[in-house]
Amino acid sequence: MKAEGHPEYHMITVKMTDGTEFQTRSTWGNEGETLALEIDPTSHPAWTGGKQQLQEGGRVAQFNKRFGGLSLKK
In a domain, 65, yes or no: no
In a domain, 52, yes or no: no
Nearest to 12 by CA among 68, 69, 29, 4: 29
Please state the domain count of the chain.
Answer: 1
* CA torsion through residues 44, 49, 54, 60, sign: positive
In a domain, 20, yes or no: yes
pLDDT in tens, 13-55: 999 999 999 999 999 999 999 999 998 888 777 777 766 555 5
60 membership: H or E segment, kind and range: helix 59-67
Own/partner pairs, 53-58, CB within 8 angstroms, 24+ separation? none
In a domain, 48, yes or no: no
3-class SS letters over 27-40 = CCCCCCCEEECCCC
Q: Which residue range(s) make up the domain with 12?
A: 7-38
0.85 exceeded by the pTM?
no
| End-to-end CA gap in the chain | 74
